[in-house]
Structure 1
Amino acid sequence: MRFRLFLPTIGLIAASLLFGIFALQTFSPDQFERESEDAAALVKTVTKGLNAALSVAGNPGPTLEAFADGIGRGDAIQYRKADASVSTPKIRLNTDAVPAWFVGLLRIPNLATAHPIIVGEQHVGDILFVPDLTPDLNEKWLGFLAIVLSGTALLVLAAVSAYLTTTMALQPLQQLGAGLARMQRGDYDRKIPLLGPPEVRKSCAEANQLARKLKRLAKDNRDMLRKLVSLQDDEREELAKELHDELGPLLFAIRANAIALSGSSSDPEAPSNQLIEAAEALQQASRRILEGLSPLYLEELGLEKSIETLLQNAHAALPSVATSAEIDPRLDSLDHLMSQTIYRVVQEAITNVIKHAQASTLNVVADLRDQAVTIEVSDDGIGFPENVALGRGLTGMSDRSRALDGKLDLLRENGRTVVRCWLPLAAARVG
């Protein structure tokens, strides 16, 4: 906006210069002629009178000599004998104090003239009119400088005034824009200063009111997400307990009866042996389902050991993947909801790596620093496709992070896919 305001000022300065040059080239020749008009008419009158006096004089020679001695070599009027070297008279002009380009712009006419003196029918000399245009030239140069400098000074003053006015108007608008950007990032606490014109102050006040409403809505949304996540975990734990209590005895009974039926039969194709294998497979599937619903050993082993167990299971499921972990032992002191969130984020990220990444290395980092928990699960696999749509697992990870006022990012850094989760410690209770 400042640049756009300066453009008309620069244009006006350039236009004024061009107009001044045009006016000089157009009107200067006529002005020089008008300023020398009286002197040129006087020379004509003197020449006419001298010719008349010489025509009636009995001896015109002495009269002419007396006239020539009288005017001598004057500034503007001069006498030249006819037998002198003939040349076109020229005006006198001293351009030392004026730039050459300015003199060239004026197109100064040659106002010098020669008026013949006739005695009888003989041309005996000339009265020359040789005006000195130096004062007129200097006057026009000083006038041009005065007009240009004063006009430029006024335009610069107007530009500075417009710049300062625009700066004073733009500053509150910039603060309003910065406040809206903070609101977009989720920072609703810093108020926008009420500065500038009344219209801008009104917009800032409305933006502050909007920030208060958004803060309240964001808090309500986080509280609702937290309740949903907590209810979901409770429901999963209850479902896991019911499955364990119901399926466990039944699977044990099936396996025991199948063993009793098999007796000493060593035929692997026997129905009883196949039933034993099916019961064992069903028991393993039941344990995986129960572990997915509710990691019963999280409170017993702690978060550090639980994540290491996840990595061991991942390596067992896919031995070609080399796993490593850096887990802060202080994470074991966090409350149940925070521990569950960290565990679920790591669990879902590892599951995605095993299923989709085609990776050869898998690294998990969970650290407690700067009053926040930072979790990074990275691999050297093929990465996420462009414009990936969040599936159920990633959506659950994102919802859990938002429930604790955190954020979840999916990144591609240095040839590795990174799932990074940031959770503020204020959302957790430390034991």
Structure 2
Amino acid sequence: MSLKLRLLIIVTLILVFNFVAAGYFMIQNARQAVAAEMASSTQLARGLLINALPTLRFSNDLSERVTLIVDSVRHTRHIRAWFEDMNGQPLIGHEEGVPFTNRPDAPDWFIRLMEPEAVAFRRLITRGSQSYGYLVVEADPSDEVTEVWRDMETLLFLGLFFLTVISSLIYLALLHGLRPLQQLADALGHLEKGDFHARVDTGGAKELKPIQIRFNHMADVLETTMAENHALAGNMLTLQESERRDLARELHDELAPCLFGIRVDLAEIERIAIENKLPDVEEKVSSVKLITSHIQSLVRKMLSRLRPMTLDDLGLVEALRDMLHNWRDRQPEIDWEWDFVGDFTGLADTLQVTVYRVVQECTTNCVRHAEASHVRVEVKREKQYIKVTVTDDGKGLDTSAVKGFGLIGMRERVSALGGKIAFDTAEGQGLQVRVMIPMKSENKK
């Protein structure tokens, strides 16, 4: 649960509790007020009735006189009055079709909660020894209960209105106050992805300013450190390639001719041994020739590992084509496809070697591990980047075997030049390796 939601729930509960408490005390006060009002009205009606009863003995028409008394009392606020016979049937004060009691305009539960105990006064009407019935006066709290319910409705409406307004204001305040934390989280996400240019605004809440300042300082240090590391790695890669190129040139220019000279001399020795019928010498010569051929093979492999000679002889595009043609000849069961877009002349030596090695490693993995039937290689030169994409339809990449595939080495090479590498894979759906390397001025020859 988010912090905003928690705070909103807490504030809402506090406000609801306050409104409930206010409603509770309002109802309690209203009940006491209604009870007092009913008692007062009943006492007043009782006094009026007691003062009017003696006039009955002087009245010739008892029914008319009782009606006048009932009407005079009934017009008193919060009072119901009627005259009923000895069996309890209303005779006066109850019109046909009119409810005998008034019902408050409120829910039943509120009526039960608010209505006080009935306050009634009954007086037997007699003349001489004859009893005519009862004159009844009873408190009628319906108007008071209706008024209280309307006040409660107003309170409820105002409570909901203010609850909505206060919650909205608190939400907006929290949204504005916590925005720096969201910005900080987004900036951390950029750092996690390798974007060290991320910074946060130091405005907002005063309590968050030290964190924002320290984050920006940390980002500055990381950006500087990563730039230095990339520069150092790039220089090391350049130095490494330079040393490899020099070593490969020495092997090619010095050792290869020596081995070739040994083979020529061995051929001459073998000819002399055959002419002079020296089988022992001939056998030794054959053995030395085998050893020499093995050394030459090792030298060619070392040259290939140290420096792709075709890269120097043919250029990047033709070297890649030559590599893929060799794969097509050796692996005809795989459908090989490639596409090179852009001008690749004038690229830095380390950049060319890195592109070549990435394609070499990816295609090697496609053959050795992917069990692919189709491989596509794309190399594009865009405005400021070299983009390499190698896609296969093999069994996908097992993340637990990343080290075995040499992908870490590719990542290090690409990172040393300030580039990025991504692996998109799903089990049984192949692998796509995407590399993007910037063409920085320091990478140029």
Shared fold by TM > 0.5? yes
Alpha carbons of structure 1 residues 65 and 32: separation in structure 2 relative to 1, 3 Å: same
Aligned to 1:39: 41
Match of 2:83 among 80, 85, 91: 80
Count how many residue pairs are aligned between Structure 1 and Structure 2.
Answer: 424
Cα distance in structure 2, aligned partners of 1:258 and 1:383: 51
Alpha carbons of structure 1 residues 291 and 200: separation in structure 2 relative to 1, 3 Å: same
Match of 1:298 among 268, 291, 311: 311
Q: Render the CA deviation track for 1:273-314: whole Å, top value 9, x for unaligned.
A: 565455445433422321221123313311100001111222
Cα pair 2:42 2:138 within 8 Å, conserved: no
Cα distance in structure 2, aligned partners of 1:106 and 1:294: 98
Aligned to 2:102: 93
1:182 to partner: Cα distance:
2.2
Match of 1:351 among 364, 375, 378: 364
Letter in 1 for 2:384: Q
Match of 2:437 among 397, 405, 423: 423
Over aligned residues, Cα RMSD in angstroms?
A: 3.6
1:214 to partner: Cα distance:
1.0
Runs of at least 5 residues in structure 1 that lack an aligned partner in the other structure:
none
Match of 1:319 among 319, 332, 343: 332
Match of 2:69 among 62, 68, 71: 71
Cα pair 2:59 2:65 within 8 Å, conserved: no
Do residues 141 (structure 1) and 149 (structure 2) align? yes
1:366 to partner: Cα distance:
0.5
Cα distance in structure 1, aligned partners of 2:424 and 2:356: 20
Aligned to 1:6: 8
1:221 to partner: Cα distance:
0.1
Sequence identity, in percent? Answer: 24
Alpha carbons of structure 1 residues 220 and 415: separation in structure 2 relative to 1, 3 Å: same
Cα distance in structure 2, aligned partners of 1:224 and 1:93: 95
Alignment of 1:129-278 (within 5 A): 129-260=137-268, 262-263=270-271, 276=289
Q: What secondary structure, in the 3-state scheme, does the structure 2 residue paired with 1:129 have?
A: strand
Alignment of 1:399-418 (within 5 A): 399-412=412-425, 415-418=429-432
Alpha carbons of structure 1 residues 83 and 324: separation in structure 2 relative to 1, 3 Å: closer
Q: TM-score, normalised by structure 1?
A: 0.83
Cα pair 1:9 1:156 within 8 Å, conserved: no
Cα distance in structure 1, aligned partners of 2:284 and 2:396: 45
Do residues 369 (structure 1) and 377 (structure 2) align? no
Aligned to 1:308: 321
Q: What secondary structure, in the 3-state scheme, does the structure 1 residue paired with 2:395 have?
A: coil
1:233 to partner: Cα distance:
0.8
Cα distance in structure 1, aligned partners of 2:100 and 2:24: 24
